[in-house]
């Protein structure tokens, strides 16, 4: 686990799983607010850290365990207010995002951004220009999707993010993303042009697996690591099904 402090913003980086140390998740703590909680499997390390922080409020970007896994522990041990999207389904009672979350020195505006999950939310601190983007951006060129991820929803949500006035982009797996604004635009362009090409091939009668071979001929590590939970086929199908 690595904790980096930049003025009042604290970035907490921890592997999503002790055995898969290459992939990390980031939680952010600022002014009493914890954005995402980290995975339950890292409870030993995270609980020690969380006890040392004055956590008043928790804001979740979405329900996946690597982001929301510690929420039960936080609820039981530290009793903060916990905010989540109205469609987030967890074992603890949460408050639904309605308007901005005010902390002593900051305000945070939840931005509904369904795409990665139906309950995904980004958090904008407008005065400082911080955007906490959860899993909206991991790479500008995704090739694999979860079954329910939707290219069209990504395109809509990325267009919403582009309109926001932010200067620093903090990702859920990347930390501070250099050139965040450009990267959001890059991902949007990539998804739009890839979707167009997939739809073209689909309309020409190509089968999904043939389209995969043409567009993403190389194997993708995440697809292998997750035994196909994330797959190129999911990505291709989502391009023409929504």
Q: Which residue ranges make up the site for Zn ion (CB under 5 A)?
A: 64, 135
Closest distance to Zn ion from the beta carbon of 105 (Å): 29
Closest distance to Zn ion from the beta carbon of 76 (Å): 23
Closer CB to Zn ion, 39 or 80, in the complex? 39
Contacts of 73 (CB under 8 A, 6+ apart): 40, 43, 46, 47, 50
Closer CB to Zn ion, 119 or 135, in the complex? 135
Closest distance to Zn ion from the beta carbon of 134 (Å): 7
Closer CB to Zn ion, 64 or 106, in the complex? 64
Residue nearest Zn ion (C-beta atom): 64
Closest distance to Zn ion from the beta carbon of 198 (Å): 23
Closest distance to Zn ion from the beta carbon of 120 (Å): 8
Closer CB to Zn ion, 166 or 230, in the complex? 230
Closer CB to Zn ion, 106 or 133, in the complex? 133
Whether 100 contacts 140, CB under 8 Å: no
């Amino acid at each position: 686990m690595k904790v980096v402090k930049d003025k009042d913003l604290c970035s907490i980086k921890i592997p999503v799983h002790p055995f898969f140390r290459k992939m990390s998740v980031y939680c952010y703590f600022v002014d009493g607010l914890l954005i995402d909680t980290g995975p339950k499997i890292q409870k030993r390390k995270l609980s020690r850290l969380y006890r040392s922080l004055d956590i008043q409020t928790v804001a979740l970007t979405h329900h996946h365990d690597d982001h929301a896994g510690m929420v039960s522990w936080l609820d039981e041990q530290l009793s903060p207010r916990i905010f989540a999207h109205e469609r987030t389904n967890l074992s603890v009672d949460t408050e639904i995002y309605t308007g901005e979350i005010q902390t002593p020195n900051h305000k945070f505006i939840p931005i509904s951004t369904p795409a990665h999950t139906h309950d995904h939310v980004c958090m904008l601190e407008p005065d400082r220009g911080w955007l906490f983007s959860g899993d909206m951006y991991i790479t500008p060129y995704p090739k694999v999707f979860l079954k329910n991820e939707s290219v069209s929803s990504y395109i809509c949500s990325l267009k919403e993010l582009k309109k926001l006035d932010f200067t620093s982009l903090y990702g859920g797996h990347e930390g501070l993303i250099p050139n965040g604004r450009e990267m959001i635009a890059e991902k949007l362009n990539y998804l739009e042009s890839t979707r167009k090409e997939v739809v073209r091939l689909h309309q020409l009668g190509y089968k999904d697996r043939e389209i995969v071979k043409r567009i993403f001929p190389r194997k993708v590590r995440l697809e292998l690591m997750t035994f196909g939970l994330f797959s190129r086929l999911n990505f291709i199908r989502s391009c023409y099904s929504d």
